[in-house]
Every structure is written in C-alpha cells, then in structure tokens.
Structure 1
Amino acid sequence: MKRIFSLIIFLFLFCSCGAQENVNDNVLVEMQNETNLRPKLVVGIVVDQMRYDYLTRFESKFGEGGFKRMINEGFNCKNNHFNYVPTYTGPGHASVYTGTTPKYHGIISNNWYDKNIKETVYCAQDDSVASVGTETTAGKMSPHRMLTTTVADENRLFTQMRGKTIGIAIKDRGAILPAGHTANAAYWFHGKDEGVWITSTFYRDDLPQWVNDFNSSDIVKSYLKVWDTYKPIETYIESGSDLNEYERGFKGKSTATFPYDLAALQSENDGYDILKTTAYGNSLTVDFALAAIKGENLGQDKDTDVLTVSFSSTDYVGHNFGVNSKEIEDTYIRLDKDLERFFNYLDEKVGVGEYTAFLTADHGAVDVPAYLQSLKIPSGYLDYNDRKARFQEFLNEKYGTIDIVENVSNNQLFFNKEKLKELGLDIHDVEQALVDEQISYPNIAKVYTATAMNSTNFTTGIEALLQNGFNQKRSGDVIVVDDIAYIAYSKKGSTHGSGLNYDTHVPLLFFGKGIKHGETYNKTIIPDIAPTISALLGISFPNGATGDVLGFVID
C-alpha cells in the first residue's frame, strides 16, 4: 500500500514540475513574442512649417520612396490639426512628443515673458549648462522648461534606460524638445563661421567620436555650392513665378530667383547659416541622422530606440520666400529624395519592417498677405506701433499711468500686479476694461481674459484653441486674436502662429512595423501622436498626455 501511495506522490510531483516548466516556457515565449512585436527603432519626423496641401500640391513631383512610400505602405490621417494657439516651433515640437498642449507641457511659445523673473525667456535656454562642440553660447540649451515627459522619455523608463534616444535638428529647440529630459543626446547645427553639430552638458560633457568625425569632414562645406532647381524650373507649375514681389531672398543677390551661388553669398549671409535657408539644410540633416544611426548603433538590439529628426530648413525657406514660391517647391522635391535616402538606409541598417516612423509638422503657414491682397482675398499687415501708441494713450487717460501693463508679447498683455495693488485697482475690472478697449482696434477679431480661460470650459472654436494654449502660470492676463490672414511681418516672405486652418492643418503619416495601411478623413489632433506610439510600444503614455490612441492606425 505504501509503495502505491509513494508512486502516486511521485507521479503528482513529476507532472507538477512538468506543468510548471511548461508554464515557464510559455511565459518566456509570450515575453519574446511581445518583444518581437515592438519595432527596433521609432523614428519621429517633424517637417517644420509643412502645410498639409504640400503633400497633394507637389505629389506629381514626388518619387515612390519618400512621402509616397509612407502613404502607399502606411496610414494617412488627412484631417490632422493642431488644437491650440500659438502654432510656433517650440510648442509644436513639444506637443507632438508629449501628447498634450501648452496648457500642460508649459512651452507656450518660442519665447515668452516670464512673470516671475520679469524677463523674456527662450523655450530651450538654460544658463546652468555649457556648450559642447563650440566656444559660443549656442549650446547653453536644455528641455528644463518643458514640464511633462515625452514618449521618448517613457520609452527610456520602460526599458530601464537601455533604449536610446537621440534628437537631431538644425534648430536647437527642434532637437531638444522631442528628445525629452532623459535623452542620450540632442544635436543641433551651429553655423556662422564654424558649421558644426553641437550639444550641451545637459546630455554629455564631450562629443562622441562619430560627431567629431562628421564635423571634421568636408560634408558641411560641400553644400556651399549652387542651389538650382532639381527639375527644370518650367515644370514647377505648382508654384508662382520665380520673379515676383513677395520674396526676400539673400543679401548680395538683387533678385530672389534661381540659381543661388551659396559659396559666393555666404559671407553676406552669416557664413554657414545660409545653408539653413536652402534645401541643402535638409540634406545635411539626413547626412547627420545616418551618421547617428551608425554611430549609436540604433535599432540593433531588442530594446526599442527612438530617433527624432526635425527638418528645420523648410521653415527658413518658407519664412524667406513664402509658401507659393519656386524655392519652397524645390525644397519639398529635394526633401522627398532625402526621405527616400533615409528610408533606404533604415531598411539596410535596421531592417525592412523592423522600424516604425511617423511624419508630421509643427505648424503650417499663411500665404504672403501681399500676394493674397493682389488676388482680392481679405488679408493684410498689422501696425503694432500704431496699436501701441493708441493703447498707451488709453492707459494714461484711464489710469494715469502705462505701468499697469508690464509686458505685451505673443498677443498677450501681462499686468503689473504690484502696480494694480498700489493703485487699488480690481484686476477683473481692469481685464474687462482692456478687453473693451482692444476689441475696438482695427484688425483685432477677438479679445479674452485670463479669467475666462480659467473659469469657462470651451469645447469648440478659437476659444478652445486659446484655452489649450493657455498656461495659468506662464500666460498673460489678456489675450488678443488678430483678423484672418493679418500678420505682423515683412511684406515679403510668410509666417505662422494662428489657430486658423493654414496654420493648424498639417500632415500625419504613420509607416512601418505595427502600422496598418489606410487613410482617414476623421479629425485627428497633434496630441494623439504620442499616445498612439506609446500604445504601439506597450509603454506608459507621457505623464501629461491628453490625446487619444488612434487605434485604427495600429495593426
């Protein structure tokens, strides 16, 4: 009997052990499968100042390996918008990667008035760090003013800091804000008389060898050559005439017309900085991104890496020549070729189907108002000097001083709270008085108070966009909205910043591992991007994210 009982116990323990081994094996397989589902590399691409209609307007000029590859193999969100004001580079890059708006991430503009220190600050400025790669102050930058994490930060946390993050852009803010607080490095281009890629001690104390090798090569200098159209200029029928009254061009050249001899023009246009305002700035960015992929071994192990790339030159060209210029068309034709080169390299180094990429923009841009005026479309230019003089006269007449307003910037009025208290003025009364005054000025469409932004839940219209861009601790006390297509800018070239469709409607393309093929006209918003990538990776959303997961994009 004892022998039978012992045999039963033996069989039970044997089966239990076998079952436990099977469970452990299954868990290991499941973990391995989950890891295999994640891309080896996520590539975030932001094209600075890219209107959505550039995708469709220049479509016939694109090849099959750049924009069209993303559309034909990936998912195209055709009705993608920014859901806040202002639409500038700093807030745009922060919003793409944090999954929220300036209301929460705190980057309310490129520059803004700091109410605490009573000075204007730059979104990436950080005097506590030092430049790396230059003796100038161009490297004294970090993301410390951004209050929330990015999707790249969350990936670093999820992988116990094993997954790398590298940020790259001509502009410092275009490299720094996307990469986030925990990045291995962010690199940006310092032109002038140096023409080098630099970083700051926020990330590291010296440049890695691959960056030194790139900077010591002749790659940057090689782009100081003639910039002519990639295709015959007579085929550029998607843009206006090359010679017109709406473009600034370069110092040292009497007309803003092709071709441009950059070597001959560089001395009058800040040396290597001239490359920023040409299509070659994008090519240089790709060159450096390829060097980063190789130098950092991105996408080469089981932990997902993140590479953020911002193409800044499209913005410089747009500001200089306008959205209807031959120069902007050529820039996008050449960018399409650079994207093809970039994707081909990723195919080779990381593997086809082993990486995921998305492409969007940080804002759009308005047509040159002078050009719109020539076509009898309502538009124009703002005279801030006249507005300022009239406003100061009002303040003196009503309050006996102009000192109750200590700063006017970014279409916002900042009160001097100490002066209001000294004069015994009620802040809400002053708010309303200034609203009533400002709305009477020419080319001001709407005016709102900080009280309205803090106490009313706006869900539609420009009011909702203003509220999403309003940060209680950083924004002003009165907010002004200008008329449609009226800008404070030169009559040559163009700009952005509004909550109107020409500034908010931008591309959103997903492509690669884990992405379905398709398209949608359903409205999507910029803060949806980071949660969607987070869901794809199975990681936590950025800690301030307010966007939704675009589940229809994920395969």
Structure 2
Amino acid sequence: MFSSRNIIYSFILLLASLNLSAQPATSERPRLVVGIMVDGLQQKHLDLLWNYLDPNGFKKIITSGANFRNVSYNIVSAGNASDIATVMTGTTPYYNGIVGNSYYHRSLDDIESIIQDDNQVGIGTSQNLSAHKLLSSTVGDELMLAYPNKSKCYAVAIGPEEAIMLGGHTAKSVTWIDDASMKWVTTGYYADGLSHWADEMNVNGVFQNYTARTWGPLFNINTYLSKPEKEDKKWGFFYDPTTKKAKNSQASIIKTTPSANGLVAELGMKILEQENLGNDIYPDMLLLQFTVRTPFEKSTALNSAEKEDMYFRLDKEIQSILQKINEKTGLDKTLVFLFGNQTGVHSPTELGENKIPAGYFNADRSIALLSSYLIAVYGPEKWISGYYGKNIFLNKEKIISKKLNLNDFQKTVAEFMLEFEGIKAAFPSSQILNFGGNKDSEMARLQNSTNKISVGDVIFTLLPGWIEVDNKNNPIGESNAIVSYTPLYFYGWKIKPQNISTSYQTIDIAPTISRILDIPMPNACIGKPIIEVTP
C-alpha cells in the first residue's frame, strides 16, 4: 500500500509534469520574433543604394541572414491590408477574407474599410476598427493561443490597416499614428487598449518632438543619386511633418516622413524593453511597420533624393533596433523577418515617358457607359448597384424580377468591359470562384484574391503597366505585374548566411515561423515551411 507521504509526493510530480507540458518543447526555439514590414520596399532600390548603406542596418540583415530573391505574392495587389494578411495567415483572401484595404458593402450600398467595425470603440480616434473581418488566425494568434497568459504580441505601425493585420485578433496592444491629431491611437478591440508606453509618449511630449522635426537631407545634397522632387535652394529639400496633405484636409504628411519611422522605432523599442519581451522561455512577438514613401510622390521608382533619404534614415533606425535587441534579448535568441508589400517597379507615368504602353484606369467613366449600354439593351432600370476595385456589382433583384438570365447578363457585361482601354480580361464571378485549374495561372491568382462575402458579379483585370485609381487619384493596389515579387529576409537566431533563389510565395512565411516556434500553423494556412531556414 502507498503511504500518505508517497501519495502526496506522486501528486507533486504529476503537477510538475503538467506544468512542464505547458512550456515550450525546447529551449532551442527563439525567445523573440521581430517582424518588420516596409511599405514601398524594393530589392532594386537596396541594390542601387548598397554602397551607401551602413554595415549594421539593412546590410547586416541581408549579408548575415537568409536572402530570398524569388518570393512572390500569389494574389492581386489591392492594398497593404491584403498583403500583410496573406503573410501573417499563410493563406489568401479566398480564405482569410481580406480582399483589400476597402470593399463594396452590398447591403449598405457603400464602400467600407475592411477593418471597419461599428461594434468597437476607438481610443484616441473616432474610427471604429478591428480585425473582425479577418476570417482566419495569424501566426501571432497561434503563438498567443499556444502559451496563453505567457507569450506576448505587440504591433506598432504607421497606418491602421497595417497595425491591425500585423496584430491579428489576439495581440495585447496594436498602435498606429493618427495624422490629424498627431498622436498614437488604437481600438478597444485589443486586451490592453492603448499601451501604457504609447500613452506616455502622447502625454510627455515625445510624440510632439517627432512632429516638430523638420526634414532635410541627411547628407550633402550633391552626394545623392537623384535630384529632389521638391527642391529647396537652402537645404536641398525641406519638409515639415505637420504640413497638410491638401488645402482642406485635416491629415498631415507625417506618415510619409522619417518622423513616422522614428516614432514606430521608438515605441517598438520602448515596448521591447519595458514589457521584457524575449526574457523568458515563452516566445514573444513584436511586429513593426515602416515606410520609404515620400510626400506627394508620383512614382514608386527610386528617382528622388527624398526617397533615397528615407532609405538612409530607415537604415539608421534598423541599425538601432538590431543593437537594442542584441542588448536586451540577444540576436542569437531572436528571429527577425523583414518583407515588403506589392509595389510596382515602374509607375504608369514613368513607363509612358519611356514610350511603354501604360496608364491609370478610373472606373467612373467606364461604369457610366456600361450603365447606358445596359439601359439600351434591357430597358431603363438601375442595372448596376455598385463598383469597387475591378468588381462590378449587379442589381440581381432587378435582373431576377425582370426574368432575365443572370449568367447571360454577366457575360454581356464582361464582353462590354473588354472594349475599354487598359482592360485585359473580364469574367463572371462564378467562373473565378469555381476555377479548379492551374494554381499558377492568372485565373487562380484572381480566385485567391476574392472572397464570397465581398466578390462582385463581374471581375476584370488590367493590362501590364496599368493601375486603377480612385477619384482622389489614390491607387487601388500598386502592382499590376503578372508576378509581383517582394524582398524577404530572415536573420538572427540560427539563420545561416545564404542567398536563396528557390521560388517561394508569401503564404510560406507564416508556416515557416510556426515551424521554427514549434506552434500550430494558422488555421487556414495553405503555405509550406521554407526548408532552408526551418529545423
């Protein structure tokens, strides 16, 4: 028989074993994952500026880590929200629901932000936003679920779409810049609301110090490869981050100045230090978004001193971030991954100036002519209910009430749209949603980019070199290349220096991180771990 002492001793051993089972399986895993997304980043730009970059910034990540030269997005460019969601979930909008920064809401008959959520309350902002429409888990979510109340995840970004898609559903806090009120803001959707450290920067004047920093060249203006976009005779170029975007706008240009990158870096490092990220056996995650965009830029090419300067100054920020991580956590215990969004190598303007066919497509005129054509064919009714992002929404109730065949109606619309300059192809949505052919084809890429909740009735594509813009000339997706590539680098932890030419897709990033952390992959993940950097 067991004595009472033996029973107690066995019970203690059982509790200890249960506690160990809730811990990470191995100390070999990184204690901290730092994800860096750079809006507008292009490998070509880094190549051109290579000799001017600091050895301990971009260069350190690229030369001492895994440099992937052949990573593509397998979705249509529709904004940073869908690009980042694809990276973080390991799947496409067909499954994760994030078809772009905005979408046409059929029942409201209006264009709505993909992160709009009227059930949430803004903190420091009147915007009501959340990750509610993100239909699948992210790699950050899976980390938080694997080690509840142990692991921590934070996201700091310039814009709300970027912040929320990086943070997913379960980040402790997600923070972004409000370019009108000039402060950090967030949404009540996340557990900690506005982080204490963001609130502190708002109150103690640190945020305002960044907004007061005017921007001129970091180096002698004559050493830059290109001339300034907006030349200043005294300084070379000169910008005030508080300058308004437009005459009647409340929003300032701060999000496209070095001040924005400096703010993200400072808050990110404050969170790293004060929240003790990476200082225990439970992995943590810190996700940051930066930019190399410039105020009023007309091209994504590296053709202005301002854009070069954005790279140079961001290079310094990355150098400081790596140094701080090494001091607090250790780069040998930290996995860093850095990627960009879908960005056209050349703008339509640049292509046109070099006699290469290209253009900007504004749908208003096309949709108006389509409406007139449908009235001529089918009678005086409102046959089109809405439009957004190459998706045409038909008035299906009216079509059905008139006893017209919906499939034939869609084909009529698709055939008419082919008459417009810049349009390459047009399809009834059912043809795309039910496609089961070659996964590398254009049709498959369209299917990846749609979701049944927000898909139109007819979808069209544009010719290479053409980009769609809205009525404010803002691009709806910036790359219209048949295959859109992005830089991708893994650095730190046990990553060996290597240049990798194997073809991968951005959906492979999340499962790679999951494999390294030894946690479940996101629940809609269709990507595969990258073998060169996984155990």
Asked if the contact 1:368–1:494 (Cα under 8 Å) also holds between the matched residues in 2, the reply is: no
The TM-score with structure 2 as length reference comes to: 0.89
The verdict on how the C-alpha distance between 1:152 and 1:206 changes in structure 2, with shifts beyond 3 A counting, is closer
- Residue 532 of structure 1: which of 499, 512, 525 is its match? 512
- The question of 1:99 aligning with 2:67 is answered no
Asked if the contact 2:78–2:101 (Cα under 8 Å) also holds between the matched residues in 1, the reply is: no
The amino acid across from 2:204 in the alignment is: S
What is the rounded CA distance, in whole Å, between the counterparts of 2:242 and 2:88 in structure 1? 39
Paired residue for 2:391? 412
Deviations, residues 428-464 of structure 1 (Å, cap 9, x unaligned): 1111111111112221111122121122224233222
Paired residue for 2:5? none
Paired residue for 1:350? 329
The amino acid across from 1:509 in the alignment is: Y
The verdict on how the C-alpha distance between 1:366 and 1:494 changes in structure 2, with shifts beyond 3 A counting, is farther
Deviations, residues 21-59 of structure 1 (Å, cap 9, x unaligned): x9x999999998943111111111111122232222222
1:413 counterpart SS class: strand
Deviation at 1:215, TM superposition (A): 1.3
Asked if the contact 1:363–1:496 (Cα under 8 Å) also holds between the matched residues in 2, the reply is: no
The verdict on how the C-alpha distance between 1:321 and 1:378 changes in structure 2, with shifts beyond 3 A counting, is closer
Asked if the contact 2:40–2:292 (Cα under 8 Å) also holds between the matched residues in 1, the reply is: yes
The verdict on how the C-alpha distance between 1:385 and 1:30 changes in structure 2, with shifts beyond 3 A counting, is closer
- The question of 1:241 aligning with 2:221 is answered no
Asked if the contact 1:242–1:325 (Cα under 8 Å) also holds between the matched residues in 2, the reply is: yes
Paired residue for 2:4? none
What is the rounded CA distance, in whole Å, between the counterparts of 2:404 and 2:158 in structure 1? 47
Q: How does 1:371-382 map to 2 (within 5 A)?
A: 371-382=350-361
Q: How does 1:490-505 map to 2 (within 5 A)?
A: 495=475, 497=477, 500-501=480-481, 504-505=484-485
Paired residue for 1:213? 200
Deviation at 1:318, TM superposition (A): 7.8
The verdict on how the C-alpha distance between 1:33 and 1:297 changes in structure 2, with shifts beyond 3 A counting, is closer
- Residue 231 of structure 1: which of 219, 226, 248 is its match? 219
- Residue 513 of structure 1: which of 481, 493, 503 is its match? 493
- Residue 112 of structure 1: which of 86, 103, 106 is its match? 103
1:229 counterpart SS class: coil
Deviation at 1:316, TM superposition (A): 5.6
The TM-score with structure 1 as length reference comes to: 0.86
Paired residue for 2:9? none
Deviations, residues 59-89 of structure 1 (Å, cap 9, x unaligned): 2221111211111221011011110113411
Asked if the contact 2:241–2:253 (Cα under 8 Å) also holds between the matched residues in 1, the reply is: no
The amino acid across from 1:137 in the alignment is: S
1:78 counterpart SS class: strand
The amino acid across from 2:59 in the alignment is: K
- The question of 1:341 aligning with 2:320 is answered yes
Deviations, residues 396-421 of structure 1 (Å, cap 9, x unaligned): 11111452221111011112221111
What is the rounded CA distance, in whole Å, between the counterparts of 2:349 and 2:479 in structure 1? 20
1:484 counterpart SS class: coil
Paired residue for 2:6? none
Paired residue for 2:156? 168
The verdict on how the C-alpha distance between 1:432 and 1:492 changes in structure 2, with shifts beyond 3 A counting, is closer
What is the rounded CA distance, in whole Å, between the counterparts of 2:459 and 2:293 in structure 1? 26
The verdict on how the C-alpha distance between 1:28 and 1:129 changes in structure 2, with shifts beyond 3 A counting, is closer
- Structure 2's unaligned 5+ residue stretches are 1-12
Q: How does 1:438-457 map to 2 (within 5 A)?
A: 438-457=417-436
Deviation at 1:336, TM superposition (A): 1.1
Deviation at 1:198, TM superposition (A): 1.6
- Residue 503 of structure 2: which of 514, 519, 523 is its match? 523
Deviations, residues 484-537 of structure 1 (Å, cap 9, x unaligned): 212344999984626644982111101111323212111111110000000001
What is the rounded CA distance, in whole Å, between the counterparts of 1:533 and 1:507 in structure 2? 17
Equivalent pairs, count: 524
The amino acid across from 2:408 in the alignment is: D
Paired residue for 2:286? 307
The amino acid across from 1:262 in the alignment is: D
- Residue 184 of structure 1: which of 154, 158, 172 is its match? 172
- Residue 469 of structure 1: which of 430, 449, 459 is its match? 449
The amino acid across from 2:495 in the alignment is: I
Structure number with larger C-alpha Rg: 1
Deviation at 1:321, TM superposition (A): 5.5
Paired residue for 1:546? 526
The amino acid across from 2:209 in the alignment is: S
What is the rounded CA distance, in whole Å, between the counterparts of 1:80 and 1:169 in structure 2? 23
The amino acid across from 1:83 in the alignment is: N
Deviation at 1:183, TM superposition (A): 1.2
What is the rounded CA distance, in whole Å, between the counterparts of 1:524 and 1:332 in structure 2? 26
Deviation at 1:129, TM superposition (A): 1.3
* Larger relative helix fraction: 1
The verdict on how the C-alpha distance between 1:267 and 1:88 changes in structure 2, with shifts beyond 3 A counting, is closer
What is the rounded CA distance, in whole Å, between the counterparts of 2:88 and 2:67 in structure 1? 19
- The question of 1:196 aligning with 2:217 is answered no
The verdict on how the C-alpha distance between 1:213 and 1:28 changes in structure 2, with shifts beyond 3 A counting, is closer
Paired residue for 1:5? none
Paired residue for 1:4? none
What is the rounded CA distance, in whole Å, between the counterparts of 2:305 and 2:39 in structure 1? 18
The amino acid across from 1:260 in the alignment is: F
Deviation at 1:333, TM superposition (A): 1.5
**RMSD (CA atoms):** 3.3
1:44 counterpart SS class: strand
Deviation at 1:106, TM superposition (A): 0.2
Deviation at 1:478, TM superposition (A): 0.9
Q: How does 1:24-39 map to 2 (within 5 A)?
A: 34-39=25-30
What is the rounded CA distance, in whole Å, between the counterparts of 1:26 and 1:149 in structure 2? 29
What is the rounded CA distance, in whole Å, between the counterparts of 2:49 and 2:473 in structure 1? 20
- Residue 238 of structure 2: which of 252, 256, 260 is its match? 260
The verdict on how the C-alpha distance between 1:198 and 1:412 changes in structure 2, with shifts beyond 3 A counting, is same
- The question of 1:52 aligning with 2:43 is answered yes
- Structure 1's unaligned 5+ residue stretches are 1-21, 244-248
Deviation at 1:181, TM superposition (A): 0.8
